[in-house]
Amino acid sequence: MARVIEYIYRDSIIHQLNPLSKLAWALGVMVLALTFNDPYYLLALLISVGLVGLTGRVMKDLSGVMKGLSIFALILVLLQVVFYHGAYREAVTLGIAMGLRMMTVVLSFLVFLSTTQYKDIILVLTEKMKLPYDYVFMFMTSLRFVPTFLNEAIQVGYAQQVRGCPIDSGNPWRKMKAYIAVALPLVLISLKKAERLAIAMETRGYGSNNRTYYKEPIISTLDYFVIFLVVVLIIGAIILRCKGLGVLH
């Protein structure tokens, strides 16, 4: 679980792509996933995302997360079945579509994040997309802290257990209280961490106004091709959708 959104160093064609085209791809996948609700279309989309992940040689590292996601998707299907007012078949189809959609979108972003160095992501978001540097940096930093945070959650959990905090007891009420006991020190730790990081950043000139950039990732012909492909696919999807294909009512 420790490496949910970390950059995974591999030598692959996906890694070499410009972050901008990978971001365009991930956003394109999201648009496609939202355009259709036919499970077959969504399944095809998920498989294509999986193939991109395989090309990037990161699927093995993401398999743990994907397992968790499929369980979550299954729960989505079950919830649909229980709470949907309508035909049973319809409910199942809708639930499956929702589950697939969620898995597709999440997987595409995981592939993007694990094949792109975070400094390059920052660069593209600030320089090319013209988003404010402060927000981009804060967002990326918070992502960066997720693995540390999970580790700490485990450790704080141990610390509380040692003190007799009943995290694994059966009673849900007691369990919830125990989790709050874990969450509180966690929030304190992360606040302290964020403050220290902010201090470290400020003493190193963060917030001065005349930044330069060391290396800017290049845009290759392949990148133009990827971006072109994404645009074509989105236009194609919109046409299909207008014709009523890939959508169930």
Partner 1 sequence: MTTSNNSLIQLNNFSYQYPHTANNALKSINLSLKKGSFVGFAGPTGAGKTTLIKSINGIVPHFEGGTFSGEVLLNGKAADTMSTAEIGRSVGTVLDDPEAQIICLDVEQELVFGMENYGVPPAEMEQRMQKALASVGIAHLLGRSTASLSGGQKQRLAIAAALAMLPEVLVLDEPTSELDPLGSEEVFRVLKQLHQEQGMTILVTEQKTDLLARYCDQLVILREGEMVLSGTPREVFQHPDIFELGVALPEVTELARRYYPQAEPPITLDEGVQFCRNVIQTFGG
Tell me which residues touch partner 1 (CB under 8 A): 6-7, 9, 117-119, 141, 144, 193, 196-208, 210-215
Q: Which is nearer to partner 1, 193 or 241 (CB)?
A: 193
Q: Which is nearer to partner 1, 130 or 204 (CB)?
A: 204
CA count, 13 A, side-chain hemisphere, 134: 6
Tokens found for residue 80: 């649909």
Distance in angstroms between the alpha carbons of the first and the last residue of the chain = 38
CA distances for 146 relative to 42, 178, 190, 224, angstroms: 29, 21, 10, 33
In whole angstroms, how close is the CB of 36 to partner 1 at the nearest point? 36
Contact between 55 and 13 (Cβ < 8 Å): yes
In whole angstroms, how close is the CB of 21 to partner 1 at the nearest point? 21
In whole angstroms, how close is the CB of 202 to partner 1 at the nearest point? 5
Q: Which is nearer to partner 1, 198 or 245 (CB)?
A: 198
Q: Which is nearer to partner 1, 203 or 221 (CB)?
A: 203
Amino acid at residue number 132: P
In whole angstroms, how close is the CB of 195 to partner 1 at the nearest point? 9
Nearest to 11 by CA among 46, 65, 56, 45: 56
